[in-house]
Chains A and B, each alone.
Chain A
Amino acid sequence: MTGDLLRDITQIGLVRKLGVPRIPVLRRYEPGAPLLDGPALVGVIGAGRFAEPIRALLTAAGVADAGDEGRIAAVVLDASAVRTIDELAGVQQFLTPTMRRLQPCGRVLLIAPEPDPADPEAAAVAQAFDGLVRSIGKELRAGATANLLVTTAETDPAALDPSVRFFLSARSAYVDGQVVHVGPPVGRAVDPAAAGDPAPADEPLSGRVALVTGAARGIGAAVAETLARDGATVVAIDVPAAGDALAKVANEIGGTALQLDITAPDAPQRIVAHLEERHGRVDVVVHNAGITRDKLLANMTADRWNAVLAVNLRAQLAINAALGEVLSDTARIVCVASTSGIAGNRGQTNYAASKAGVIGMVRALAPQLAPRGVTINAVAPGFIETEMTAKMPVATREAGRRINSLRQGGLPVDVAETIAWLARADNGGVTGQVVRVCGQSWLGA
């Protein structure tokens, strides 16, 4: 629920008759809800290896095959074997008839190959999917989204499962126009027989220990609640002054509260000592704590600059450096960046620099952590309805809400769901990525 008055007004029949386009109410995940609220269509071009396992996944999840007629909740096209412009035409021919059949909050998910540098045409065609999916995202209406998974033919289809589930489900309500590369899972190959029972479908994070910074309110509180809902035991961190709100979050999710200022010199050691003592490890680390101290660069002071860089970037680096052995061998680190760090934002030189820095850190650490089985990714929220965005001037806020393909702001839970997907033990194939939760904002690539 948000205070989006315009969205609410456009639900009224009379207002719609006046020709005002309806701002969609997005379908969001509830525990126990089916993967899709309608049938799905799964297609394949050429020798794609992913369509069959995806069909099996959907069947197991109780999703019906859409056939040639009627509404569809999702279209999945395995185009991973497409290498020529002629084959690309097949993609258009398959997708075009599905567009008008897509129901509200429908899903379009394409699987494309990684570019082959040895074959200029194949490389061109692989890149073509970027433009194609982003344009589909902008054409879709009524809360529907389009996203792209890029992978190689060698990747075990099982590596795609968590991503397919996420992008088809209501959990990805505000993730649109995104390109995610899925590779072979990081770390040593795990024998499925030795891996023990898989996590239950409605508690994919069962048994995992998660650390969330900035958890007392806003996006951080939503992350803590969502990870706990998915089965994780959550250690919620925030500054001591926010301790009362933090205690409430922790008690409601049966987690624990750890009051500390993450910028204190001994904070990383205290966090690691706490994790070692209380849990012996950590499986999920969510670097969410962040602050803004907006000023035009012309008026920027060193205090404002340094405060933002210290919380938003330096603390993440210091904690990551200290985690060491306490990270489990399926650990997932998720760093909250921002679309401001991608597109830039007037008055936010310090904030945008810190958030762009987070993306740089993620890209540098991903290959370093991969041999240990650890992934690190960034989630870049766009316009999310929080206390921070509410401080904006009305016109800026209203503009921020509308300039995206879904024509509304996202909710903290949308960011949290995306983090929960990246936090899964079985999601070892996604690392070093930046996933925007922005409803396909017009700002930024």
Chain B
Amino acid sequence: MTSVRRAAVIGGNRIPFARSNGAYAEASNLDMLTAALDGLAARFGLAGVEVGEVAGGAVLKHSRDRDLTREAVLGSSLAPTTPAYDVAQACGTGLETVVLVANKIALGQIESGIAAGVDSASDAPVALNDDLRRVLMKLNGAKNLQQRIAALAGLRPGQIVPELPRNAEPRTGLSMGEHAAITALEWGITREEQDELAVASHRNLAAAYDRGFFDDLVTPFLGLSRDSTLRADTSVEKLAKLKPVFGTRGKNAAAATMTAGNSTPLTDGAATVLLGSDEWAAERRLPVLAHVVDAQTAAVDFVHGEDGLLTAPVFAMPKLLARNGLTFADIDFFEIHEAFASTVLATLKAWEDPAFAEERLGLDAPLGPIDRSKLNVTGSSLATGHPFAATGGRITATLAKLLHEKGPGSKGVISICAAGGQGVVALLEGA
């Protein structure tokens, strides 16, 4: 294997994440992404600087935001000659942009780049009813009055109802939470362990804020200086009082365990990560927190197959570890995105299960249990919230800083599940 250089994670910046229709209710994806880029520029002295590229994206995107990332670059303090492009892979978008930029740096195509992601559940696009949209497109294409009248003749009152964005899988019609509830039931994930995971997430995040961990990772926006989902004083007792919201229909309704407390709320926010070659960082005297070592994406057939919608990381992780000759014992930090507490717990159970390892992962032995004290040590999505495409950037910058604190050679993995039955995992090494 020829050795390629590794891309350095230099640092990151995000705006605090806000519950939808809260502090950022009036802010668009473009507003938030630009603010996050400007905070990054300020932290690393990039005002007026041309970086190799900016890769970014949003899961919920207006048609007017065709080149969202490039528009954000143009409105930011970065040099207007900085190229940019949009990426989309559902909740994997943020981490996928990190991988794309890191790969280009590794290949020597660019010396520096910014990976970014943003999402707004408050300013989500509302589409026209599909039939109405077709009528209007026909009308637009009509060349004469006769054609126009013919087009308008297709109008029906029912078409005026707009199509609201739904958090549903196009092929199954089930929401993400419903899918997760099925997986939770399959793996026998209890209400208690979900609530415990949620409480740990809030406590870890609050403690990290209190020790100043996020001082150089977060820049306030629109009056918010901490993630608005964070509840430092939450407890298992408090969460136990919440009613289940997913898996509450059908024959297993009585066994429903997923509540608003152990699922992530809809959130608005943006995150960025600055990557570069070691040389570029040294030239500008910028810190190298960690290196991007490797990444793996996997997908499962959640429609007709037997796997759950959010279980693809279960399959991606063993490939990543095997390729790098590592086991869980070598890993110092596990950053597993908390779409739902049950998703994290089901993922862990799958990795611990000998039968699953043998039958589904083709392994002689399971990956094994992980040391819970190494899991999401500064909190994760249950506490920060989850603006879909921003989560990958949030986690990458957070993990890079943790690895830098731990020291050179320390290792951390990121696991992010995504809609469409996909999952992205990545391996970082402390510098």
Contacts and interface: CB of A to CB of B under 8 A. Distances in A.
Given A244-B39, A256-B42, A278 B286 contact: yes
Contacts of B47: 250-252, 254
A311 interface: no
Interface stretch (A136-144, A257-265, A331-339, A360-368): A257-265
Interface in B193-237: 212, 214-216, 218-221, 225
A251 B220 CA distance: 15
A247 interface: yes
A218 interface: no
A100 interface: no
Interface in B71-95: 77
Interface in A235-260: 240-244, 246-248, 250-252, 254-260
Interface string B11-50: 0000000000000000000000001001101111101100
Contacts of B285: 277-280
B45 A254 contact: yes
A190 B39 CA distance: 41
B contact residues, range:
20 to 34
A233 B45 CA distance: 10
A244 B225 CA distance: 9
Contacts of B77: 251
Contact of A243 (B41, B48, B225): B225
Contacts of B215: 240, 259-261
Nearest to A241: B225
A255 B45 contact: yes
Given A240-B225, A279-B285, A259 B45 contact: no
Nearest to B216: A259
Interface core residue of A240, A241, A254 (most chain B CB under 10 Å):
A240
Contacts of B212: 240, 260-261, 264, 266
A277 B287 contact: yes
A240 B220 contact: yes
Contact of B221 (A244, A258, A261, A280): A244
Nearest to A244: B220
Contacts, number: 71
A259 B77 CA distance: 19
Contacts of B35: 244
A365 B108 CA distance: 50
Nearest to A234: B45
Contacts of B45: 233, 250, 254-256
A279 B287 CA distance: 11
Contacts of B43: 247, 250, 256-258
Secondary structure of the B contact surface, majority rule? loop
A241 B42 CA distance: 15
A280 B221 CA distance: 31
Contacts of A248: 38, 42
A240 B42 contact: no
A250 B43 CA distance: 8
A251 B41 contact: yes
Interface string A270-282: 0000000111100
Interface core residue of B219, B285, B286 (most chain A CB under 10 Å):
B219
Interface core residue of B48, B218, B220, B225 (most chain A CB under 10 Å):
B220
A208 to B, nearest CB: 15
B396 to A, nearest CB: 19
Contacts of A246: 42
A259 B287 contact: no
Contacts of A260: 212, 215-216
A256 B287 CA distance: 13
B274 to A, nearest CB: 12
A266 B48 CA distance: 32
Given A254-B47, A256-B42, A260-B212, A243 B219 contact: yes
Nearest to A278: B285
Interface in B270-301: 285-287
A254 B42 CA distance: 8
A255 B214 CA distance: 20
Nearest to B222: A244
Interface in A272-331: 277-280
A256 B218 CA distance: 14
Nearest to B219: A243
Given A250-B47, A254-B47, A240 B214 contact: yes
Interface core residue of A246, A254, A255, A280 (most chain B CB under 10 Å):
A254
Contacts of B44: 256
Contacts of B220: 240-244
A384 B148 CA distance: 69
Given A252-B47, A264-B212, A257 B42 contact: yes
A179 B216 CA distance: 42
B48 A254 contact: yes
A241 B41 CA distance: 18
A409 to B, nearest CB: 29
B216 A247 contact: no
Contacts of A247: 38-39, 41-43, 219
Contacts of A243: 39, 218-220, 225
Contacts of A256: 42-45
B48 A259 contact: no
Interface in B163-221: 212, 214-216, 218-221
A254 B45 CA distance: 6
Interface core residue of B35, B215, B287 (most chain A CB under 10 Å):
B215
Contact of A251 (B42, B221, B225, B287): B42
B38 A259 contact: no
Nearest to A247: B42
Given A243-B218, A255-B42, A261-B215, 6 more contacts: A244-B35, A244-B39, A247-B38, A248-B38, A251-B47, A257-B219
Interface of A: 233, 240-244, 246-248, 250-252, 254-261, 264, 266, 277-280
The 8 A-B pairs of least Cβ separation, nearest first, read A247-B42, A250-B42, A257-B42, A251-B77, A251-B47, A243-B219, A256-B45, A241-B225
16 contacts: A240-B225, A243-B218, A247-B38, A247-B42, A250-B42, A250-B45, A251-B42, A251-B47, A256-B44, A258-B43, A258-B216, A261-B212, A261-B215, A266-B212, A277-B285, A279-B285
Interface of B: 35, 38-39, 41-45, 47-48, 77, 212, 214-216, 218-221, 225, 285-287
